[in-house]
Amino acid sequence: MSRRARIRKHPYYFRNRMWSREEIEDLGTTCPLLTAAEILSISRNAAYIHVEAGTFPVKVVRIGNRLRVVVPELVELLFGADERAEVQR
Protein backbone atom coordinates (compact mmCIF):
# COMPACT_ATOMS: atom_id res chain seq x y z
CA MET A 1 0.00 0.00 0.00
CA SER A 2 1.45 3.33 -0.94
CA ARG A 3 1.88 6.12 1.61
CA ARG A 4 -0.63 8.26 -0.26
CA ALA A 5 -3.37 5.65 0.13
CA ARG A 6 -3.00 5.62 3.93
CA ILE A 7 -3.44 9.37 4.42
CA ARG A 8 -6.96 10.21 5.57
CA LYS A 9 -8.37 13.20 3.76
CA HIS A 10 -9.50 16.17 5.81
CA PRO A 11 -13.29 16.47 6.15
CA TYR A 12 -13.07 19.54 3.87
CA TYR A 13 -13.11 17.13 0.91
CA PHE A 14 -16.55 15.79 1.85
CA ARG A 15 -18.59 18.90 1.04
CA ASN A 16 -22.39 18.91 1.19
CA ARG A 17 -22.37 16.12 3.73
CA MET A 18 -24.93 16.10 6.52
CA TRP A 19 -23.46 15.50 9.98
CA SER A 20 -25.51 13.61 12.54
CA ARG A 21 -25.55 14.60 16.19
CA GLU A 22 -23.61 11.46 17.12
CA GLU A 23 -20.87 12.17 14.57
CA ILE A 24 -20.44 15.70 15.90
CA GLU A 25 -20.39 14.55 19.53
CA ASP A 26 -17.78 11.90 18.62
CA LEU A 27 -15.36 14.68 17.62
CA GLY A 28 -14.50 15.18 21.30
CA THR A 29 -14.33 18.38 23.32
CA THR A 30 -12.96 20.55 20.51
CA CYS A 31 -12.59 20.24 16.76
CA PRO A 32 -10.63 22.15 14.10
CA LEU A 33 -12.16 25.35 12.75
CA LEU A 34 -12.42 23.91 9.23
CA THR A 35 -14.41 20.92 10.47
CA ALA A 36 -16.82 23.25 12.27
CA ALA A 37 -17.08 25.37 9.12
CA GLU A 38 -18.02 22.28 7.13
CA ILE A 39 -20.63 21.28 9.72
CA LEU A 40 -22.13 24.78 9.53
CA SER A 41 -21.89 24.77 5.70
CA ILE A 42 -19.77 27.88 5.48
CA SER A 43 -16.58 28.40 3.51
CA ARG A 44 -13.11 28.41 4.95
CA ASN A 45 -12.71 32.12 4.23
CA ALA A 46 -16.04 32.97 5.86
CA ALA A 47 -15.04 31.02 8.96
CA TYR A 48 -11.77 32.92 9.33
CA ILE A 49 -13.51 36.26 8.71
CA HIS A 50 -16.09 35.52 11.42
CA VAL A 51 -13.38 34.46 13.88
CA GLU A 52 -11.45 37.69 13.25
CA ALA A 53 -14.62 39.77 13.65
CA GLY A 54 -15.66 37.85 16.76
CA THR A 55 -18.97 36.84 15.17
CA PHE A 56 -18.44 33.08 14.87
CA PRO A 57 -21.61 31.56 16.40
CA VAL A 58 -19.79 29.37 18.94
CA LYS A 59 -16.71 29.75 21.13
CA VAL A 60 -13.39 29.49 19.29
CA VAL A 61 -10.23 28.79 21.28
CA ARG A 62 -6.78 29.70 19.98
CA ILE A 63 -4.19 27.11 21.03
CA GLY A 64 -0.83 28.26 19.71
CA ASN A 65 -1.42 28.86 16.02
CA ARG A 66 -4.45 26.57 15.86
CA LEU A 67 -8.09 27.54 16.10
CA ARG A 68 -10.35 25.02 17.83
CA VAL A 69 -14.14 25.13 18.19
CA VAL A 70 -15.91 23.95 21.35
CA VAL A 71 -18.01 20.96 20.25
CA PRO A 72 -20.70 20.99 23.00
CA GLU A 73 -21.59 24.58 22.06
CA LEU A 74 -21.73 23.58 18.40
CA VAL A 75 -24.12 20.71 19.22
CA GLU A 76 -26.30 23.05 21.29
CA LEU A 77 -26.40 25.58 18.46
CA LEU A 78 -27.49 22.99 15.92
CA PHE A 79 -29.73 20.71 17.96
CA GLY A 80 -30.73 22.76 20.99
CA ALA A 81 -30.38 21.74 24.61
CA ASP A 82 -29.85 18.05 25.22
CA GLU A 83 -33.23 16.56 26.12
CA ARG A 84 -31.57 13.46 27.57
CA ALA A 85 -29.85 15.60 30.22
CA GLU A 86 -33.19 17.10 31.24
CA VAL A 87 -34.73 13.65 31.69
CA GLN A 88 -31.86 12.44 33.89
CA ARG A 89 -32.20 15.32 36.38
Mean pLDDT over 48-77 rounds to: 95
What type of residue sits at position 87? Answer: V
Q: Tell me what pLDDT residue 18 has.
A: 85
**pTM > 0.75:** no
Is the backbone of residue 84 left (phi > 0), alpha (psi -120 to 50) or beta?
A: alpha
CB 60 within 8 A of CB 69: yes
83 or 28: which carries more pLDDT confidence?
Answer: 28
Measured distance CA(68)–CA(16) in Å, rounded:
21
Q: Tell me what pLDDT residue 45 has.
A: 95
Q: For residue 36, which of 23, 47, 51 has the smallest C-alpha distance?
A: 47
